[in-house]
Amino acid sequence: MKFKEFAITAYELENTSSRLAMIEILSHLFKKADSQNIQKLIYLLQGRVAPPFEGIEVGVGEKFVEKAIANATGYTISQVEALFRKTGDLGVATEQLLQKKKQMALSAEILSVDDVFDTLLKIAKTSGEGSQNKKIKHLSELLNRADSLEGRYLVRIPLANLQLGVGDPTIMEALSIALKGDDSLREDIEKAYNLSSDLGLVSKNLYEGKNQLGGIKIFNPVRPALAERETSPTAILERHKKTMADLKLDGFRLQIHKKGEKVMLFSRRLENMTDSFPDVIKIIRENVKAEEAIIDSEALAYNETTGEIYPFQYTIQRKRKHGVAEKAEELPLHVFAFDLIYLNGKDLIEEPYMKRRKLLEKIIGGEGITVMESITTSDNEELDKFFKKSIEIGAEGVVCKDPDSPYKAGMRGFNWIKLKRSYKGELADTIDVVIVGYYLGKGARAEFKFGGLLGAVYDEEDDMFKTVARIGSGFTEDMMVKLREMLEKIKAKDKPARVDSFIKPDFWVKPIYVVTVKADEITESPMHTAGWKGDAGYALRFPRMVGGIREDKKPEDVTSVDEIKRMFKLQKHTAVQTSPEA
């Protein structure tokens, strides 16, 4: 397949805000693909050269790309930089320079998807002495062969800034339509993706006609199961009759993969965290009595002597690239295991939770790791007592699990229900939002050039981010400076394609960064699009940011529109109230 086909598709996607149009555009591209190129095509659409858990990133900076553009076009680096500053987009700058480049191409050979993918993968894997010059040379050669539109996207991929606004659900639906003419394959594709976390591989298996599109494999993370929420023990037991309640801890959710002495750790976002936690690796090798296992767990800073659970502010200090060993010594993590997904060659996700739990208890034991404290009950008072105990020892609350339920990879449902602490004058739970815009500061904040954020939640059905709050408090001075610096780098000229908003902030940003928000309540509002019903959506009343950027969550992991609707109904006071300012 010619790379020009990819570039034309990318341009069409970039210039539409309709999800249905996106699906149609992608399906046309996928109809032209075959089993030899579909995997690479999917990765490129995701702006990657490998699934996230492999940790292979093209990872080049703007200065690196500017040198490659200069080499390919005959312009100076200063001229490239000047046009970049003028356009605000290195992809657009490249497109314009290639239209009037000063030197002839060294090769007239047409670029293919394979050419681009294989070269970008080579750049990602190039390391050692002289690697920078080699990377610049490889990218220069691609740009030398590219036409102007191809150049626009050739530089955006290695910069991890493709700007297509396409989410995985949209890609999955387009794949089904391309092959079947309808969405009948969507469920099978999503199930396979949830188990393998590799949409490129699933797509290749689909095009090869394999019956098994994707399954559990050691060292390929499974997309984590997620919980719904309720407001009381009574409501939970109405759903479960009998429930198994675990402590709900606020730490790093780690999926542990073990095969013999080899151990790998994956975050909630499916990132490879193995090198970050050498103390956890040692604990697993010594204290998990199984040849092969995939364990779901929460790891956090914990006082082994007193049993004190430290706040997340302590645990987050362990997320670092440098000084890892020293921090591991200073602030060791304790692993609280709570589910077993795979054991010694057997996939356990369809087994009932009670059975998975018993198997987990048999293979865990030793210093630094325990099975999460839990009770099994059908009694309201007993569940309430355990919930209050969890708060007393520093947990967030409890997660109640249906004893007969399977492990629902990548899905949120009432098999798991969380019950969290309620604060006076606040919602019973925090809400995660993705930042889609920000405001300039006024008054006392003018010097920081930062006044607040526009936050959105995720509509799973539409694969869109819909606004729910303008967040103006909860920031320290240092945080305002940091947020402005981060957001300036991802500003967008226009509203991003996957953002649905009536409100226009001072600056739009690409939906990348997730933050956690507390609010007094959820109200109906004519200003926000989350749960829009024709005349009103939902908004957070008096939202304030808590903590920093949630690096453990990707945009699609934020609170969903359906959760916002449920939380609105679950509020103790459900009288309709319109928020004039949210």
Catalytic residues: 248
The partner residues of 193 in beta bridges, in order of sequence, read: none
Q: Using CA atoms, how far apart are residues 377 and 240, in angstroms rounded to an integer?
A: 10
Output the six-digit token pair for 127: 């390391």
For 358, residues 6+ apart whose C-beta sits below 8 A from its C-beta are none
For 248, residues 6+ apart whose C-beta sits below 8 A from its C-beta are 390, 395, 396, 397, 398, 399, 418, 419, 420
Torsion of CA 235, 241, 245, 250, to 10 degrees: -40
For 386, residues 6+ apart whose C-beta sits below 8 A from its C-beta are 245, 375, 377, 398
Backbone phi, psi, residue 245, to 5°: -100, 120
Task: Provide the 10 A C-beta neighbour count for residue 319.
Answer: 15
Q: Using CA atoms, how far apart are residues 187 and 225, in angstroms rounded to an integer?
A: 16
Q: Evaluate whether 310 touches 303 at the Cβ level (below 8 Å).
A: yes
Q: Using CA atoms, how far apart are residues 291 and 427, in angstroms rounded to an integer?
A: 44
For 237, residues 6+ apart whose C-beta sits below 8 A from its C-beta are 243, 378, 380, 383
The partner residues of 537 in beta bridges, in order of sequence, read: 525
296 closest CA partner among 266, 271, 318, 273? 266
462 closest CA partner among 96, 167, 115? 167
Residue matched to tokens 């920081």: 448
Helices (H) and strands (E) in the chain, counts: 20, 21
Q: DSSP character for 311?
A: P
Q: Using CA atoms, how far apart are residues 39 and 379, in angstroms rounded to an integer?
A: 51
